[in-house]
């Protein structure tokens, strides 16, 4: 079983060790209960990369199916995309959240981790942030090395469990050309493209006050056949 404490100082888009630890833990706690994994955005990249790594290594996993929604596939391209146009609003919001998290960590640990407060605020794009923090803190040489080694698209041909990839044609953060083509995925992977949906949106319905969240029906629809023989869970205190 992987050791989650050995993964790095901060979470990142290729950190599969936590997911692997959780799945193995659940499999040991509830033997015989089939597990499914669902990930969104960076979480989807982690799920897909993990499945590809396990398939490449020939590992047998207690996971019967997976769904990845709005995965970035190539985090480096997405980091550049989010620094352009209106996407910069989203980038600014996310970076502010990350700054607050780091400042809290510095305060709790009473350790500036080699980072001056003014320097932190100058990291105003994800590429700068990843080059200075995410990459080095997790053992990568910098942003380019981090992006190259956290891609999920190059591993999808190794996925060995039924997997659904959902992506919207109008996703503002993940360009459509990043979506893997049939030749780049295993026969276990289904890539489903929708005309609309944005990034992890997929809201439909004629009226705002009666919106329907399409993923709430599509994900269970895909997973149900694989979980149909699931025995009852035995919860433990």
Catalytic residue numbers, as ranges: 41, 171, 199
| Size (the chain), residues | 237
Beta-ladder partners of 68? 39, 165
Residues 37 and 150: their CA atoms lie apart, in Å, by 19
Half-sphere exposure of 21 (CA within 13 A, CB side): 10
Query: DSSP 3-state assignment of 228?
Result: coil
Q: Give CA 66 to chain center in angstroms.
A: 12
Q: Quote the CA–CA distance of 198 and 203 in Å, as a whole number.
A: 9
Beta bridge partners of 84: none
């Amino acid at each position: 079983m992987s050791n989650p404490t050995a993964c790095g100082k901060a979470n990142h888009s290729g950190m599969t060790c936590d997911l692997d630890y959780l799945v193995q833990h659940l499999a040991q706690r509830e033997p015989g209960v089939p597990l499914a994994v669902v990930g969104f955005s960076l979480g989807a990249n982690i799920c897909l990369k993990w499945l590809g790594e396990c398939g490449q290594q020939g590992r047998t996993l207690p996971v019967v199916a997976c769904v990845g929604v709005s995965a970035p596939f190539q985090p480096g391209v997405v980091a550049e995309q989010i620094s352009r146009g209106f996407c910069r609003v989203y980038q600014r919001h996310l970076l502010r959240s990350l700054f607050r998290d780091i400042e809290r960590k510095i305060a709790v640990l009473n350790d500036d981790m080699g980072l001056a407060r003014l320097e932190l605020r100058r990291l105003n794009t994800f590429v700068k942030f990843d080059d200075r923090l995410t990459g080095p803190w997790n053992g990568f040489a910098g942003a380019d090395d981090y992006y190259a080694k956290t891609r999920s698209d190059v591993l999808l041909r190794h996925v060995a469990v039924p997997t659904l990839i959902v992506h919207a044609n109008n996703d503002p953060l993940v360009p459509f050309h990043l979506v893997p083509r049939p030749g780049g995925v295993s026969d276990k992977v289904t890539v489903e493209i929708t005309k609309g949906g944005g990034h992890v949106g997929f809201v439909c319905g004629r009226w705002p006050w009666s919106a329907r969240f399409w993923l709430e029906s599509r994900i269970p629809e895909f997973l149900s056949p694989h979980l149909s023989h699931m025995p009852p869970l035995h919860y433990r205190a």
